[in-house]
Amino acid sequence: MAQHALATLMLPWSTSTQRTSKSVPVDPALLAVTLILALIGVVMVFSASAVVAGNRFHDPWYFLKRQVAWLGVGLLVMHLISRIDYTIWRKLAIPLLCGATLLLVLVLIPSLGNVAKGARRWLHLGPINIQPAEVAKFVAVIYAAAYLTKKQDQITQFARGLLPPLIVIGVLSGLVLLEPDLGTVVVMGLVVVTLLFLAGARIKHLAILSLCALMGVAALILTSPYRWKRFLMFLDPTKDPSGAGFQITQSFLAFGSGGPFGVGLGEGKQKLFFLPEAHTDFVLALVGEELGLLGTVTIVLLFGLFVIKGFQIAGRARHPFGRHLAMGITMLIGMQALVNAGVVTGLLPTKGLTLPFVSYGGSSLVANLFGVGMLLSISRDRQGGHGGQEGGGARGARGARKRGVITE
C-alpha cells in the first residue's frame, strides 16, 4: 500500500526506470557525428569569416569567438537534455507551443524585432539576438509528436484527427511567413506532413493538403517580387550573373575551382568579398572550394549517417512518443541539410536556411543541439529504457508489434 502511494507521487523525471536509463550510455555514433560536424563548422566558419570580420569589426576572430561560445552553450544544453526523461516534453508541449507563439509575435513588433536584409527574424534580448523560428521548428515537432501519441485512433478522420494539428502548425507557419521566412515554413510543413503519414493519416487527405500547400507556395512566389526574382534566377542564373544571380553564380565558381581535393584550407578566394554569406547559408560552397569534392562528400555522408542513426533510434524506441519525436527531429535536421545543399548547388531556389551544426549562427546551433539532446535521451530508452507504453500511430504500431513491443 505504501509502495503504491509512493509510486503515484513520483514525478516523470524521478522514476526508477529513469534512474536506470541514466546509467545506459547514449548512442555513441550519433554523438560522434554531431561533434564532428560541429567541429568542422568551427573550422570553416573561421576560414570563411576571418577576412570579413577583420574588415568589418577589425577583429578576424570576431565570428569564431561567438561560434565557439554558442557551441559551448549548445553542448551544455545537449548534455542536460540528454539526461532528462524525454517523455516530459509531451507534458510540456502546450506550454512550449504558447511560448514559441509568443516569441514569433514579439519578433514582429518593430521595437523588439531586428530587421536585416529585409527580414525581421531576430529578437533582441539584452546582449544577444535569438531567432524564434529556430525554436518554433522544434516546438512544432514536439507538439506533433505529443498530439499523434494521444490521438492515434482518430488520425484517419479529417475533422477530428487531422485538422487540429494542421491549424496549430498553420498558425506557427503564418507567423513565420510574416517575418518572412518561407524556407523554414516549407521544411516544417514537410516534416509534419511526413509524421502524419507515418502515424496513419489517410493518403487521400494528405494528397489534397499537399496540393493546397503547393498552390499556396506558388501564390506566395508569384505575389512577391523578390521571391519571383529568386525563382527566375534558379531557372537560369546566367541571366543576371552580376545582380540577382550573383550569389549562386559565385557558389558555382567555388565548387568548380575546388576540384576533387580543394585549393587548401584557408586558401579559398570566394570568401574574399565575392561569395555573400560564405560563413552562414553558403558555407558548404566554401567547403567545396577549399576541401574539394572529397570534403563536400564527407559532410554529406556525415549527415546521411546522422539520419540513419536517428531513424534507428526512432525505430527502436519503446515509447510511441519517442518514436514520433525521434523521427521528427531527425527529419527536421536532415531535411534542412538537404535543402541547404540543394540551394548552394543550384538544385533549389535560394532560401535563408543554415547548414545544421556547420553554418555560423547561435540560435540555429543551440536549437539543433537541443534536438540532438532529445535524440540522445530517446537512445537511452532504446538501449535500456524508461517510460511506459502508449499507443502509437497506425503504421508505427504495426512496426512496434513486429518488434514485440506492447502498445496497448
Residue ranges making up the domain that contains 267: 26-402
Nearest to 198 by CA among 116, 255, 141, 126: 141
The 10s digit of each residue's pLDDT in 347-397 is: 988 877 899 999 999 999 999 999 999 999 999 885 444 444 444 444 544
Q: What percentage of the chain has pLDDT greater than the value 90?
A: 54
In a domain, 19, yes or no: no
In a domain, 11, yes or no: no
The 10s digit of each residue's pLDDT in 251-273 is: 999 999 999 999 999 898 888 87
In a domain, 383, yes or no: yes
The number of folded domains in the chain is: 1
- Cell numbers for 239: 541571366
In a domain, 226, yes or no: yes
Which pLDDT band, with edges at 50, 70 and 90, does 143 fall under? very high
- The residue ranking higher by pLDDT, 71 or 180, is 71
- Cell numbers for 319: 515509447
d(CA 216, CA 193): 15
pLDDT at 23: 59
In a domain, 255, yes or no: yes
Local structure of 235: helix, strand or coil: helix
In a domain, 9, yes or no: no
d(CA 204, CA 86): 33
In a domain, 21, yes or no: no
Question: How far is C-alpha 139 from the chain's CA centre?
Answer: 11
157: left (phi over 0), alpha (psi -120 to 50) or beta: beta
In a domain, 6, yes or no: no
d(CA 36, CA 377): 19
